[in-house]
Structure 1
């Protein structure tokens, strides 16, 4: 569901408006705006790419490259990978000499090397052609082999270390039946003209710059582009008012996340009354309570705890943001404590939270590895305490001395064999 109905979409751009877009480095494909749009592919390069593939290039990919051979995208994309609803960064459309982490040829060579390493009998031609993604972390592929999957879109996402996301390990999966279907999944979770930063801001700035031109064709093109961009904004509020929100997973989760991050108890209670689960995962393994902790949304935190939502993951996510009372409350309710929790707690300004959570943790190899860092932080706190004492700031000095004492105690507890 989007913010603008289909019958309210602008008409097609005129030839003069399309010329203005090209001059501004913009292009349209399948109703989505491409930034830093490159000149269309020529026949020689198209043939050269085809030579590297297992079969013919799918028509939608050729259509994209005939429109713009590379550029940047600024939309939200989510998909189900490994049973998890995860965001996917489809920010780059690869092209030769892009200046990115790899250009198109570099990614093709990279994939061919992987094929040779893992499939000794590989033909050297790619079944899955990398066409875009984000640096080295995420890639989007087009299937080029003859057969039922020809033209289908797949993705790969690198697993990140603990602390970046809640699970590790690479993930891969199918995104769409073809490239146009993938572009149809590119949406915006917020209207960029209603928020300062975030996804869509680069498109907003490009459209506004076009609209400030003295050229009437540029201004009319900008007006149409703005409506096209806003037509991709997910309209969870409309679904809420229509009473259909609870049945639409993407919109439901977006609304729950917004209520949690904005500390909006009234909205959260309304969503729950409609049948939305206030404990549902809303983003990358995070529940509304986890989101509320990240945003220090105290009213929502209290309301959710009164609903007895699960708290197992809360301190792994929000140990840096809780006070001692809340930390103790979450511990009593069954929140898990591990090395990730303690690491996150080290960023808490209140060392008593660090002390409480660390003493609740059972020493293990993960915590033992924190020993050197704890000793370094303890030494830094001791030096800060000495400086503050010299400046006659006794209250601040006592706080830093207490931090140094707690961190030294924890270092000795977690890694007793490495005491200096």
Structure 2
């Protein structure tokens, strides 16, 4: 059967619903094939020939949406790269293929160089997400021709554990290989959070079924095809080989933290999964566990020998027990006024007092340092609550939790 799962008739039915299969991955909200004159116009601005895999894609669809996980190392960080759109001409957003080409041409014209520029692009933007993430095909003749590159925008310094400088790395040697790198960390039919990879595709298919007659049988088979991109870290965990696969180990470790599964942390440590190094952005495993409120996982990580960063207590967003706070302090976390205020706000006064005691042993400015951070945090929370109460904006905490945190800060005293 064509594409391992569907015959030509079924592929035609999927195409009628805006679904195209390419390199064993699902493209949805797919555009018609790119006309020859538009392909020629793109070719005219490239320093070398368009890669054959890209031409094969465009002859199936001029663009559309994809919904997979992609993690790459950039600037020493473990970055989640958002590749959710294949750029196409005629998009009603700013992310049109023609618009991105114009953007790249403008940037290339302004770039410093020796000698005159011939007006041709060496890397062609073909997809990404808004302004923050882009995927490029190398169109310069030479050994790298056809390579697929991933670029990600750095974020401002206040974004903790974010990559703060723009990054770029090679994704794969060609477009088909790049699609093969796209995967699913988790089963979209057994989501562990409110927002998950696969959500956009499943919602699209539901709408096509309910409003446009996509058959349930074909939809279910497409979902089964889509789920073949799920990674399997459980088998190598069971046979004791998971520790030898870094990318797969990191997916398993992120899952253990997302589910706050201390027993799984113990199993991962037992097969020599690395517990150090960046796991999401620059955050190591204990950073991620503490900031995500996975306190059982955090304790298990420390028991298993995972390193604790000096600023591990500076990104608290849920009530921390004094036992965990003491454990983190004993293994390398440094007490700070920020940690004290965040514990107070989250309703963990015992942990706040323990951290304050540790801070006072090394500093003589505890009251003033705490008051300064508390006042800044109060202003931030009060501003957020006022915005939420207008009904025009939302906040991940919600109005009630924002109000609780404000009350905690206003009534606590050292």
TM exceeding 0.5 = yes
State the distance in 1 between where 2:150 and 2:101 align.
15
Q: Which of 62, 65, 81 is the matching residue for 2:74?
A: 81
Distance 1:271 1:159, change over 3 A: same
1:33 and 2:59 equivalent? no
CA contact (8 A) 1:261 1:291 kept: no
Pairing partner for 2:112 from 113, 119, 139: 119
Query: 2:168 aligns to what?
Result: 172
Match of 2:376 in 1: 373
User: Which of 274, 289, 312 is matched with 2:271 structurally?
Assistant: 274
Q: 1:401 to 1:285 in 2, by over 3 A?
A: closer
- Residues 336, 89 of structure 1: alpha-carbon distance in 2 compared, 3 angstrom cutoff: farther
CA distances 1:100-158 after superposition (whole Å, capped 9, x unpaired): 23311111111111111113632221111100111000111011111111111112111
The offset of 1:203, in angstroms, is: 2.4
Query: Could you say which structure has the larger radius of gyration?
Result: 1
Q: Is the 8 A contact 1:311 1:334 kept in 2?
A: yes
TM, length-normalised to structure 1: 0.78
With over 3 angstroms needed to count, the CA separation of the structure-2 counterparts of 1:401 and 1:145, relative to structure 1, is closer
Which of 223, 228, 233 lines up with 2:230 in the alignment?
Answer: 233
1:56 Cα deviation after fit: 1.5
Preserved CA contact (<8 Å) 1:94 1:132: yes
Question: 1:66 deviation in Å?
Answer: 0.8
> Hey, what's the Cα distance between the residues in 2 that align with 1:374 and 1:397?
9
How many residue pairs end up in the alignment? 381
Change in 2 beyond 3 A, CA 1:65/1:377: closer
Match of 1:287 among 284, 287, 304: 284
Distance in 2 (alpha carbons) for counterparts of 1:367 and 1:375: 12
TM-score, normalised via structure 2 length: 0.79
Residues of 1 paired with 2:406 and 2:77: CA distance?
A: 47
Contact 2:138 2:144 in 1 (8 A): yes
Shift in Å at residue 234 of structure 1?
A: 0.5
Q: Equivalent residue for 1:317?
A: 315
Contact 1:143 1:150 in 2 (8 A): yes
**Which residue number corresponds to residue 139 of structure 2?**
144
Query: Which residue number corresponds to residue 6 of structure 2?
Result: 13
The 1-side partners of 2:74 and 2:410 are apart by 47
Give the equivalent residue in structure 2 for 1:4. Answer: none
1:160 match: 155
**Which segments of 5 or more consecutive residues in structure 1 lack a partner in the other structure?**
1-7, 381-394, 407-420
| More RCO (CA 8 Å, sep 6+) | 1
Match of 2:52 among 54, 59, 62: 59
SS where residue 149 of structure 2 aligns? strand
> In structure 2, the residue corresponding to 1:331 is in which secondary structure?
helix
Provide the alpha-carbon RMSD of the alignment: 3.6
Counterpart in the other structure of 2:261: 264
SS state at 1:67 partner: coil
Residues 18, 158 of structure 1: CA spacing in aligned structure 2 closer, same or farther, 3 A cutoff? same
Preserved CA contact (<8 Å) 2:341 2:352: no
1:105 equivalent among 75, 84, 98: 98
- Equivalent position SS for 1:131: strand
Question: 1:402 aligned to 2:411?
Answer: yes
C-alpha separation in 1, matches of 2:343 and 2:151: 32
Relative to structure 1, the CA distance from residue 19 to residue 346 in structure 2 (aligned partners, 3 Å threshold; closer, same or farther) is farther
Residue 285 of structure 1: CA displacement?
2.8
